[in-house]
Amino acid sequence: MTTAVDTVVPGTDPQGLDRFRELEARQQPRWPDAGELEAVARRLAGAAPLVAPAEAQLLTERLAAAGRGEAFLLQGGDCAETFADANATRIRNKVRTILQMAVILTHGASTPVVKMGRLAGQYAKPRSSDSETRDGVTLPAYRGDMVNGHAFTTQSRVPDPRRLEQAYRVSAATANVVRGFTQGGFADLRQVHEWNRGFMRNPAYARYERTASEIDRAIRFMAACGADFDALRTVEFYLSHEALILDYERALTRVDTRTGRAYDTSAHFLWIGERTRQLDGAHVEFLSRVANPIGVKLGPTTSPDDAIALAERLNPDNEPGRLTFVTRMGTGKVREVLPEVVRKVTDAGVVVTWVTDPMHGNTIRSASGYKTRRFADVLDEVTGFFEVHRSLGTVPGGLHMELTGDDVTEVLGGSEEISDDGLALRYETLVDPRLNHQQSLETAFQVAQMLTDR
Ligand SMILES: O=C[C@H](O)[C@H](O)COP(=O)(O)O
Ligand SMILES: C=C(OP(=O)(O)O)C(=O)O
């Protein structure tokens, strides 16, 4: 990785990187010790970048291709990564799930897939409420391992800036493991059967095995023809997270010495959440200053004018691939709200890559009290997203999912028919429910069909 980047010390601000500090920043922790936060930010500002600007620039080109319908973005991972789960097995399971989904999509729809994890930095969460009450005791809400601990004790819930450094270190280790898996042979397409080994037989796995066999046959045929398969050994895999805690994102921003542009080197792709996308807010201001490809989540209250104004602010040069709109309307709203937004944005000449997040508009509380989603709702929002783009002649460019490679029981339904009673079996997420491995593969098969029709 090239490290041709210069630190921009907070407070010395040639690129306007600190201007966000003058604006309202929602969803920020109340750090108890400003001095300690500043010391941490200074140390992080001197630390090595986690990604290289050149990689982020290549991703911009890939996302531009997705926006034109020449590729498809698959972005997935935990709702909230945890420090405790940043081990090789869990990371491998997530990477493998994304690789398997990508194989299904590429094979089913003959479309190159841009692979991206919500990984190696997804440690901060926006919350509906600042506090949580249990049995009459009220404490600050858990805001992700980057901010405070999940344990319901006063000590654990106090925001601790040293966690920003821990998030950096764990992200670096995770990124290293991801590079090992994606560059070291594990992701070799000739391992396509191997990725499925050990899973129980069920319809999604049996279907995956058939796909893998067809890919195997095609590879053997091409090998017999003398093809060179070096390109199959490695995959491009990008890292992303929500750019929520601005002190962290600012501290990891560097100036690329080749281009003179500022990059947030905490990830290749950063997105602004639905709760922090105010046009005059700190998050929009900060991300307008970095050159990474960025996303904005658009919920059901988004007006076409909001979307156009965000695009003008975040991508004034209308650079293809720079801006992705991740729509998360909910299954009940997608067909009602999305058409007008897409139509007016398109009519305004705004170049954007459209991606669906079918998770965040479909969260419910089950009768047994779990925060969950119905698998059928998730699929229906994706279906609605494709229908809307089809009817407008615009491009459905990708899928943004909360998923895990493990056999959790957090989302209702799927071919294993997880019921309300079944949620308790392996409900492990600390914030929002994720698709398990098998539900993720099922989704990929359904989307491959929609992509083929695209
Ligand atoms: O992942 C998204 C948000 O952080 C999450 O949905 C907020 O959850 P809450 O409503 O439980 O705070
Ligand atoms: C908080 C998230 O989403 P949204 O901003 O769309 O609610 C998320 O993706 O984790």
Lowest mean pLDDT among 120-129, 333-342, 445-454: 445-454
> Is it the case that residue 11 has pLDDT exceeding 70?
no
Instruction: Work out the pLDDT band at 14, boundaries 50, 70, 90.
Output: confident
Non-local (6+) Cβ contacts of 90 within 8 A are: 404, 405, 406
Q: Is the CB of 79 under 6 A from ligand 1?
A: yes
The 3-state DSSP composition of the chain as helix, strand, coil percent (nearest 5) reads 40, 15, 40
2 and 57 in contact (C-beta within 8 Å)? no
Confidence of residue 9 (pLDDT cuts 50, 70, 90): low
Dig out the tokens for 250 from the structure.
């600012």
pTM listed for this prediction: 0.95
81 within ligand 2 shell (Cβ under 6 A): no
User: Could you tell me what percent of the chain has a pLDDT over 90?
Assistant: 81
pLDDT (tens digit per residue) in 115-140: 999 999 999 999 999 999 999 999 99
Tell me the best of 122, 128, 366 to mutate to test the pocket of ligand 1, counting ligand atoms within 8 Å of each CB and taking the most: 128
In this predicted structure, the answer to whether residue 359 has a pLDDT above a threshold of 90 is yes
Do the Cβ atoms of 80 and 122 come closer than 8 Å? yes
CA 235 – ligand 1 centroid, Å: 32
Which position has the higher pLDDT, 6 or 272?
A: 272
pLDDT of residue 12: 66
Q: What is the pLDDT of residue 216?
A: 80
Verify whether ligand 1 is closer than 6 Å to residue 77 (CB atom): no
Read off the pLDDT of each residue in 1-22 and give the average, rounded to a whole number.
74
Residue 29, pLDDT above cutoff 50: yes
β-strands 72-77, 396-402 pairing: parallel
Of the given ranges (41-50, 225-234, 396-405), which has the lowest mean pLDDT? 225-234
User: What average pLDDT does this structure show over 205-231?
Assistant: 80
Measure 117 CA to ligand 1 centroid, in angstroms. 19
- Whether the per-residue pLDDT at 181 is higher than 60: the answer is yes
The per-residue pLDDT for range 84-122, each reduced to its tens digit, is 999 999 999 999 999 999 999 998 888 999 999 999 999
> Measuring from atom 5 of ligand 2, which residue has the nearest CA?
273
* pLDDT score, position 225: 80
Q: Report the residue count for the chain.
A: 454
CA 430–ligand 2 middle distance (angstroms): 14
276 or 229, higher pLDDT: 276
Ligand 2 centre from 273 Cα, in Å? 5
Residue whose Cα lies nearest atom 12 of ligand 1: it is 127
More confidently predicted of 352 and 219: 352
Burial of residue 316, with CB atoms counted within 10 A of its CB: 0-12 exposed, 13-18 middle, 19 or more buried: exposed
d(CA 11, CA 9): 6
Q: What is the dihedral of CA 267, 271, 276, 280, to 10 degrees?
A: 100
Supply the Cα-derived Rg of the chain in whole angstroms. Answer: 21
**Which of the four pLDDT bands, split at 50, 70 and 90, describes residue 200?**
low
- CA of 360 relative to ligand 1 center, distance in Å: 8
Amino acid 198: pLDDT: 66
Burial 186-214 (b: 16+ CB within 10 A, else e): bbebebbeebbeebeeeebbebbeebbee
For the Cβ of 242 lying below 6 angstroms from any atom of ligand 2, the answer is yes
- d(CA 203, CA 330) in angstroms, rounded, equals 27
**DSSP run (H or E) holding 53:** helix 53-68
The residue-averaged pLDDT of 236-256 equals 97
Q: Residue range 423-433: average pLDDT?
A: 94
What pLDDT does residue 1 have? 45
Nearest atom (ligand 2) to Cα of 273: 5
Ligand 2, atom nearest to 326 Cα: 6
Has the ipTM of the complex gone over 0.95?
yes
Which atom of ligand 2 sits closest to the CA of residue 431?
10
* 431 ligand 1 Cβ < 6 A: yes
Mean pLDDT of the chain: 93
Q: What is the mean pLDDT of residues 148-152?
A: 98
Q: What pLDDT score was predicted for residue 2?
A: 45
Q: Ligand 1, residue 141: give the atom nearest the CA.
A: 12
